[in-house]
Structure 1
Amino acid sequence: MRDTLRTRMGWLHEWIGFLGGLVLVVCFTAGSLALFDIELTRWMQPELARYHPAPLSDAALDKVGGIVAQMRQNGRNAFITLPTPRDPILRVLHFNGHAFLGTAYSPTDGFPVLTRPTDGGQLFFDLHHSLYRGPFWGNMVTEIAAIGLLIAVGSGLIIHFRSIIPDLLLFRPFASRTRAWMDAHILAGLLFLPFMVMMAYTGAVIHGPRLFPMFGGGHHGRPGLHRPSGDSRATYAPLSPMLHEAEKIFGPATIGLILFENGTVSMTRADSSSFVLTRDHAVFSAQDGTLVDVVRQKDPSRRLGGILRGLHFIRWAPLPLRWLYFLSGIAGSALMSAGLILFLMKHRDRRGSRFLFRLAETLTMGVTTALPIACLGYLWANRLFWSDLPERAHWEIEAFFLVWAVGLVHAAWRSFGPTPLRGWNEHFVLFASFALTVLPLDFLTRTSNGYLSSFDVYKAVDFTAFAFGLLALFIHRRLATS
């Protein structure tokens, strides 16, 4: 009876894991990068390297408020993000359907800072939560994949229940290829099991109200998605007194967003201000700046949702915890990639010549190796496209998907040809080439004093890419000698 259960769970784990894994590798890879979406956006705007954190002045805020008033008079829905330690710049943004684009302003005097237009790290956020396919169908696919992950975890625990302790102690990277991948898959699955279950569960709960509004919860996405598109008023009262009043209510340095509606201004708490991710805000009259209302999230079910969103997005977390999330997300992606590869190893001898197997290998290569190459290609496109290219942000996105598509076509060419394993090796070589040269690319395309004297967000991206390039070279050598 027990062996029959393990056999059935093995079949369930294998097939649910493979089909869901194709989506989940994309979600975990993009989600890991999205943890540093603000930092990646700064890297992709190298013009900001010369600007150092400075206190926000009342004059700068009031000046930018006047700019927003003019924009809204012209029918453009805009909002303001205030400087933070992660992004020490004042921004006026609008939503373009996928990302928040706009202009950066100096927090000291309110003058515009000339930066290249880019979606930046928001691409990875969008790819993570909706596969860049919009707020319904994309979320539906990721929701189903998250449920599939919970099923795969449960079935995997049943399969390996007898040998959990030995599996925790064994990792043989220099054993046979199948044994090494199996050890990596099991070890990562056991060590990062709580993280993956938490992320799958919270992700499913976050998307639930969006996909099934009849069960309540409403929309809790990023700001500005459903705000009115225009405003009949040409001017607003000065924003700085409203900000000071809101900080008296919610605490110093807790306001992150300034949202505008017809006749009102909302000083909204920053996502980084609390473990519970809410949209608490103070509402002011746009005409004279008087306080109209204070909106706090008091409903227990909504506060529980805020806690789950706080756990999932961790915008409140200090840098070490975000790095821990990042490494855990990469480990989760590696776990599922190893599972996909083990699936191919198991069926290659008997089904390696069949169309569906070759298609499965193409898709596996597309999400495990071609996607990371596309992410690096996105960084390269950002620095190689000239700054005043028309619709520049759009062409960066196009470059990302073009590189991904070329990688997928190459994967199909190798998978349907006589030497499929060469495709894997070539992908790792290409990834290593892109990753190891991000550092010199940054050095050659960014003008900044003190490049060698301080460690900043730019060098953090450079050296992280370099580390992944070294890892890709190691895998390439293992493939070449096995």
Structure 2
Amino acid sequence: MRDTLRNRMGWLHSWVGFVSGLILVVVFTGGTLAMFDTEITRWMQPELAVLPQTALTAEALNHAGEQMQALQGAGQMAFLSLPSERDPVLRILHYDGHAFVGPALSPRDGADLNVRQTQGGQLFFDLHQSLYRGPVWGNMVTEIVAIGLLIAVFSGLVIHFRNLVPDLLLFRPFAAPGRSWLDAHLMAGVLMLPFIIMITYTGAVIHGPRLFPMISNGHGGKAANRAGPDKAHGMASAAPLAPMWEQAKAVFGEGNIGFIRFEPRTISFYRSDAADFVMTRDHVDFSPRDGRQIGVKYGERGIQALGGVMRGLHYARWGTTGLRWLYFVCGAVGSAMMSAGLVLFVIKHRRAHGGTVKLALAEAFTLSVTLGLPVAALGFLWSNRLIAPSLAQRDLLEAKVFFLLWLCLLLHAVVRSGAGCVRAAWREQAWALAVLGCGLPLLDLLSRRGSGWTPQLDVYLAVDACAFGFGVLAMWGQSMIARDR
């Protein structure tokens, strides 16, 4: 009976794990990079490297408020993001369907810093959250594969429960290819099991109300707080923002104001996501005409605050840099665990289906998400420095480079797999990852020469070091990847 259950769980783990794993590797890789989405955006705007650290002034805030007033008068919906430790500039942002983009302003006087437009790290956040397919269909797919991951985890525990400890103690990275991939899959899966369950469950809970509005009656208050598009109540005589800012700080505390929304009837100062473990949308409302405080509105309270806890656990925006690095490492190991599972699937089915079109496609998709996606991500960073900074809609062009390069890598994998040269395809894409990763620090140095390159520990050096590290890892591992799996 037990062996029959294990056999059935083995079939379930294999097929559900492979089908959902192809998407989950993308989701986990995007989420891992999105832990530092703000820092990646700063790297992709090298003009900010020479910006001195300056506290936000009343002059800069009032000047930004005047620009927001002009935008609202022109009918453009935007909000004002305040400086933080991770992003020390003012930003006027609007949503372009995938990312929040807009000009960066000096926190000293509110002057436009003339930075290049880019989707930056938000591309990876959108890839993680909705596969870059929007908040409905994209979120629905990620919800479905999240359920698939939970099924794969449960079935995997049933399969390996009896020999779990011996398998962990007998990790053999240089054994036969199938054995080494299985050992890596088991070790990564067991070590990251609490993180994987936590991040998957909280992600499913976060998107649940959006996909199933009938279960989210408690969230209706957020929409009710937004004033309707009443043009008659425009901001023709908007009061300065600085006095409102001081009152909002008295409510939420110094440094705890994240962004400002401009509505026809109110100007709302929202508490920062980094202010507390419970991630809510608490805000202070002011009259745009005279700056008078209207009231303080709090989001979820009581049992509904569990939603804020789930968001706090998942996004970890309240966490220190060390905690975000821990999430980054756990996400990277989780992606590696799923990638190893995909490789194990094609190894297992090569014996029975070798040379078939189905196996060639399985090999190609496995390669394109395991190595093709990181190569495309590095190509995205390269494109940021190679595309002219003043080019119109360059942020969209960078995103197109990312997806076009990823598509080319998929086609390369399909052609090579179909021709029976899959090992060569793995080696070639590993070398592409090594070249782009190891070459990125040099590109950063050359593109910022004379305008902001300094040998100090900052976000630029951190991104360069990570890219170089992954490049070296790919260079070391390409011979192992190309072995007869």
Q: Same fold (TM over 0.5)?
A: yes
CA distance in 2, matches of 1:229, 1:96: 22
Residue matched to 1:6 = 6
Residue matched to 2:292 = 290
Q: Is the 8 A contact 2:300 2:308 kept in 1?
A: no
Which of 256, 259, 269 pairs up with 2:271?
269
Residue matched to 1:315 = 317
Which one-letter code corresponds to 1:236 in the other structure? A
CA distance in 1, matches of 2:362, 2:16: 14
Q: Is the 8 A contact 1:374 1:403 kept in 2?
A: yes
3-state SS in 1 of match to 2:260: strand
2:155 aligned with 1:155, yes or no?
Answer: yes
CA distance in 1, matches of 2:342, 2:94: 39
Residue matched to 2:370 = 368
3-state SS in 2 of match to 1:259: strand
CA distance in 2, matches of 1:324, 1:22: 24
Structure 1 unaligned residues grouped into runs of 5+: none
After superposition, the C-alpha distances for 1:217-256 in whole angstroms (9 at most, x for unaligned) are 54899xx999859773234211111111011111111001
After superposition, the C-alpha distances for 1:307-336 in whole angstroms (9 at most, x for unaligned) are 000000001100011000000000000000
Question: CA 1:27–1:481 in 2, change beyond 3 Å: closer, same or farther?
Answer: closer
Q: Is the 8 A contact 1:89 1:105 kept in 2?
A: yes
CA distance in 2, matches of 1:185, 1:204: 24
Question: CA 1:367–1:218 in 2, change beyond 3 Å: closer, same or farther?
Answer: farther
Which portions of structure 1, spanning 4 or more consecutive aligned residues, are displaced by more than 3 angstroms? 217-221, 224-231, 447-453, 479-482
Greater displacement, 439-448 / 63-72: 439-448
After superposition, the C-alpha distances for 1:435-462 in whole angstroms (9 at most, x for unaligned) are 0100000000014677454111000000
CA distance in 1, matches of 2:451, 2:291: 42
Q: Is the 8 A contact 1:278 1:306 kept in 2?
A: yes
Q: Is the 8 A contact 1:66 1:235 kept in 2?
A: no
Residue matched to 2:326 = 324
Residue matched to 1:472 = 474
Residue matched to 1:101 = 101
CA distance in 2, matches of 1:103, 1:314: 26
For these two proteins, the number of residue pairs brought into alignment is 481
Question: CA 1:33–1:126 in 2, change beyond 3 Å: closer, same or farther?
Answer: same
Which one-letter code corresponds to 2:460 in the other structure? Y
3-state SS in 2 of match to 1:463: helix
CA distance in 1, matches of 2:397, 2:13: 40
1:359 deviation in Å? Answer: 1.4
Residue matched to 1:426 = 428
Residue matched to 1:334 = 336
Question: CA 1:466–1:226 in 2, change beyond 3 Å: closer, same or farther?
Answer: farther
Q: Is the 8 A contact 1:53 1:85 kept in 2?
A: no
CA distance in 1, matches of 2:31, 2:226: 21
3-state SS in 1 of match to 2:464: helix
Question: CA 1:227–1:162 in 2, change beyond 3 Å: closer, same or farther?
Answer: farther
RMSD (CA atoms): 1.9
CA distance in 2, matches of 1:66, 1:447: 35
| TM-score, normalised via structure 2 length | 0.96
Question: CA 1:130–1:300 in 2, change beyond 3 Å: closer, same or farther?
Answer: same
Q: Is the 8 A contact 1:209 1:219 kept in 2?
A: no
Which one-letter code corresponds to 1:376 in the other structure? L
Residue matched to 1:348 = 350
Which one-letter code corresponds to 2:406 in the other structure? W
Q: Is the 8 A contact 2:267 2:286 kept in 1?
A: yes
Residue matched to 1:38 = 38
2:380 aligned with 1:390, yes or no?
Answer: no
Residue matched to 2:65 = 65
Q: How does 1:85-164 map to 2 (within 5 A)?
A: 85-164=85-164
Residue matched to 2:359 = 357
Which one-letter code corresponds to 2:390 in the other structure? D
Q: Is the 8 A contact 1:210 1:218 kept in 2?
A: no
Question: CA 1:61–1:272 in 2, change beyond 3 Å: closer, same or farther?
Answer: same
Question: CA 1:462–1:147 in 2, change beyond 3 Å: closer, same or farther?
Answer: same
Q: Is the 8 A contact 2:244 2:291 kept in 1?
A: yes
CA distance in 1, matches of 2:144, 2:283: 33
Which of 278, 281, 306 pairs up with 2:308?
306
Residue matched to 2:171 = 171
Q: Is the 8 A contact 1:50 1:448 kept in 2?
A: no
Q: Is the 8 A contact 1:77 1:228 kept in 2?
A: no
Which one-letter code corresponds to 1:237 in the other structure? A
Structure 2 unaligned residues grouped into runs of 5+: none
Which one-letter code corresponds to 1:305 in the other structure? G
Residue matched to 1:256 = 258
Between the aligned residues of both structures, percent identity stands at: 52
1:295 deviation in Å? Answer: 0.7
Q: How does 1:12-31 map to 2 (within 5 A)?
A: 12-31=12-31
1:299 deviation in Å? Answer: 3.0
Q: Is the 8 A contact 2:269 2:284 kept in 1?
A: yes
Residue matched to 1:207 = 207
3-state SS in 2 of match to 1:113: coil
| TM-score, normalised via structure 1 length | 0.97
Which of 416, 441, 444 pairs up with 1:442?
444
Q: Is the 8 A contact 1:93 1:103 kept in 2?
A: yes
Q: Is the 8 A contact 1:77 1:229 kept in 2?
A: no
CA distance in 2, matches of 1:433, 1:66: 47
